[in-house]
Structure 1
Amino acid sequence: MRKIIIVLMVILNSCIKQSERNPVPQAIVEGYVSPGKGVSIKITQEITAGAIDTLIPLNDLKVKIDKNRVPYTLSYMGKGIYANPDMVISEGDTCRLYFGYNGVEVTGYTIVPTRPTGFTCSSQTVKYKAWGNSVSPELLEFTWDNREMEYHTVIIKNVETGNRQVLIANHTKKDHNIFTAPSLEHKASIPTYENFFWLGKHEVILYKILPEYAILFNEPDNSSQNLVSAPTNIKHGHGIFTGVSTSDTLQLTVSYF
């Protein structure tokens, strides 16, 4: 009898180790719903090959979103994207995403926040000396209304088309959007000297985000590739499904003196 128990324990331990090596794949969701826009959700799955993790699109899923308890079907558009351009989102909408995968229902829930108001930027220009350490202003300051103490973040994007010019005096060493850390305050700022990469036109947008997105923002690596290990609000899956609202867009020009 003792030998039988030992054999069963060895088999069980082997099964557990095999399960740990080859866990049941879970869907990875990346979806943001915003007022005035249609819906587009990316759904992938992580495949581990040796030391390399790869995200592959999941197709042929039956994906739906209940908006204010009314169901809408999302169509597969390719490359893991499911969309319904006719499903327009409004402030305050409740959205429940759901689809079946590997025998379970994957779900996510969010409420679309109201649009930010009162957004201002302290300058419409940033000017550098072509050679040297001089820049004006040295700090960009942003303010907005936030009586309810909700999370906000400012994102600055270069929107030049064609042959963009790299800022000679740049100290970022890489092309990237500039953003402030999510904050419950009504203001934020960024130093200009060390942040800009491109000359030309930039858009400055204030995003009102929900706590789950703020947590993801604060992760060391918050890229799409890392959604499998980041905090999630997806049940029976990974990733994020969240409401986001944006302010009116402000314009900023980066140039030389």
Structure 2
Amino acid sequence: MKSHYQYIPLLSIMIGFIILSSCEKVEVATADADVAVVEAYLHPDHEILIHITHQLVYQSSDTLIKPVEGLTITVTSPDTMVVCIADSAGYYRAPIIPLEGLVYNMEFTYNQGTVSASTSIPLKPSNYEASGTSIIVGTIGGEPGSGDPPTQPTPLTLTWDNDDLSYFMVVTENIETNPEPIFDTAEVIPFRVFRNTPDRTNTQDLNPGSFYYLGHHRIILYHLNPEYAQLYDDNGSSSLNLAKPPSNIINGLGVFTGINSDTLFVLVKEE
């Protein structure tokens, strides 16, 4: 069964441990705590929500993310211009639904400078299909005493169209109210979400060993722009060499990017 339900917060959750995040501290010698960090994912099923925070500086005394409030943010497209509505804690909402194929621009004044970014809304993934509606976890062996080696369960193969070699990313989430772990997790509670890195491909195998819970899962295929995919690139950063994170924000950090998606549902069960 296929659904058009989209779960954009998963993108923010996934990016939280990547260098994009405003939680990431930047080397104190080169960083400025007054640099604005932008995080916005424009999806054609939702109004535009933009989050603005201050940059955290590596080895500084600050440990909390501070929102940037009181901004006047404009969002424009070829036929629209709106001023964002301030919500709370650095969140700003543009009361428009972005459309596939259009370019959207964001701009605001901060510290006597102009912070801006531009992105386009990619097309919805087409012909997104799975090789089955369920996946079996656990090792399947031969008859006891037969000497036959155990065989691994068959992976679930996802396919979609990608004639122009766009970036895609698969995010899988258990959606049970009280999910049942596949293994004993008394000491460590595993994540209910996992994902692959963005890739220019048209297929992805989900191996049974990647799942930690039984029950129903949604498998979201995101069509991404390059500015999001670049966040996953290895930039050589380490505790000795903290490089500036990739960003498409002019005079700022973070990402302002268009996305689109489709969703399939599968059942994970034991043999």
Structure 1 length-normalised TM: 0.78
Distance 2:133 2:68 in 1: 43
Distance 1:73 1:105 in 2: 15
Distance 1:157 1:135 in 2: 26
In the TM superposition, what is the alpha-carbon distance from 1:177 to its structure 2 partner?
A: 1.9
Q: Which among 149, 161, 170 is matched to residue 145 of structure 1? A: 161
Count of residues in Structure 1 that have an aligned counterpart in Structure 2: 227
Aligned pair 1:245/2:260, yes or no? yes
Distance 2:233 2:190 in 1: 20
Q: Which among 120, 135, 143 is matched to residue 126 of structure 1? A: 135
Matches within 5 A, 1:171-186: 174-186=190-202
In the TM superposition, what is the alpha-carbon distance from 1:140 to its structure 2 partner?
A: 2.2
Decide whether aligned partners of structure 1 residues 21 and 232 sit closer, same or farther in structure 2, where only a CA change above 3 A counts. Answer: closer
In the TM superposition, what is the alpha-carbon distance from 1:121 to its structure 2 partner?
A: 1.4
**Partner residue of 1:41?**
50
In the TM superposition, what is the alpha-carbon distance from 1:120 to its structure 2 partner?
A: 1.1
Q: Which among 95, 103, 113 is matched to residue 112 of structure 2? A: 103
Decide whether aligned partners of structure 1 residues 140 and 130 sit closer, same or farther in structure 2, where only a CA change above 3 A counts. Answer: closer
**Partner residue of 2:226?**
211
User: Percent of aligned pairs with the same residue?
Assistant: 26
Tell me which moved more, 146-155 or 109-118. Answer: 146-155
CA contact (8 A) 2:139 2:152 kept: no
**Partner residue of 1:59?**
69
CA contact (8 A) 2:136 2:208 kept: no
Residues 27-51 of structure 1 deviation map (CA, whole Å, 9 limit, x = unaligned):
0000010112211111101244736
Bigger share in strand:
1
Distance 2:172 2:126 in 1: 17
Distance 1:188 1:82 in 2: 35
Tell me which moved more, 21-30 or 207-216. Answer: 21-30
Structure with larger Rg: 1
Bigger share in helix:
1
Distance 2:118 2:134 in 1: 40
Q: Give the secondary-structure state (helix, strand or coil) at the position aligned to 2:229.
A: helix
In the TM superposition, what is the alpha-carbon distance from 1:24 to its structure 2 partner?
A: 5.6
**Partner residue of 2:240?**
none
Distance 1:61 1:255 in 2: 49
Decide whether aligned partners of structure 1 residues 256 and 87 sit closer, same or farther in structure 2, where only a CA change above 3 A counts. Answer: same
CA contact (8 A) 1:153 1:182 kept: yes
Structure 2, unpaired ranges of 5+: 1-27, 142-149, 236-242
- Aligned Cα RMSD in Å? 2.9
Aligned pair 1:255/2:269, yes or no? yes
Distance 1:22 1:30 in 2: 18
Q: Which among 195, 207, 217 is matched to residue 191 of structure 1? A: 207
Distance 2:165 2:30 in 1: 44
Tell me which moved more, 108-117 or 50-59. Answer: 50-59
Aligned pair 1:113/2:132, yes or no? no
